[in-house]
Amino acid sequence: MRAASLSLPFHKFLSNPTLIVRSVTHTPSVLRTSISTGPCIAAISSIIRVSTMSAGAGSGDNNIGVVEFALSSSCRLKIQKGDITQWSVDGSSDAIVNAANERMLGGGGVDGAIHRAAGPELKEACYKVPEDRPGVRCPTGEARITPGFRLAASHVIHTVGPIYDVDKSPEASLKNAYRNSLVVAKEKNIQYIAFPAISCGVYGYPYDKAASVAISTVKEFANGLKEVYFVLFSDDIYDVWLEKAKVLVGN
């Protein structure tokens, strides 16, 4: 038995009898717990902390916490349950990713939520993005960037994921969506980026397969950024992403 500094969502503490809470400290941005645990900690030793939604993002019951993994000495992967429209870090070098459609004019799911939160200025900005071909401003797998307008984050990176049962190479298209979002972020000097689970809504991408592509692509292409987040709205997707990160990133 040894003491460790580890933080997990409260339901993990409540359901895991091997974790014994020793102390809890809380500030507006960080909640830390000191626990004792057995050898099972080795499997998730890369987890660093849990916090509420990042600075500037507000607070509330829908912001469960952040589980953090080290991608490198200078880049962190953070997975949290919450509302991506509320997320931000500094309001100047941060961006949320919108799982858009090729028209880039809003839609359902996270796309519609981001447009509503950003205000009508976002749709006006998207109208000004040149069309690649009639009716298509952002082809599947590519990415475009606009200001965030009324969002807490400074920018929105719009990318289009594949429709799983329609796309001939859904894995390649999904990887391109994540990779090109990261490329655009670095080109615009974005240091902090937050992704939703691209293509996991009406586009029908299986969660486990989508998480593998998302996390492995971020792991490969995130160098140059300080923090990469996945801000996930549903419990099911959050749980799949967290378990996949432990496998692909944990050490």
Pairwise CA distance, residues 131 & 40, whole Å: 52
Indicate if the alpha-carbon torsion angle 74, 200, 81, 34 is positive or negative: negative
C-alpha distances in Å from residue 224, one per residue of 1, 17, 205: 38, 39, 28
Q: Determine the Cα–Cα distance for residues 33 and 26; give it in Å rounded to an integer.
A: 9
Q: Alpha helices, DSSP H only, in 88-162? A: 109-118, 120-127
Return the structure tokens found at 42. Answer: 């080795």
Task: Give the three-class secondary structure for 78.
Answer: strand
Half-sphere exposure of 213 (CA within 13 A, CB side): 25
Closest CA to 247 of 80, 2, 77: 77
Query: Do residues 240 and 211 touch, judged by C-beta distance below 8 A?
Result: yes
For 23, 41, 172, the CA distances from 218, given in Å and listed in that order, are 34, 24, 14
Active site residues: 111
- Nearest 5°: CA angle at 29, between 26 and 30? 45
Number of H helices, E strands in the chain: 6, 10
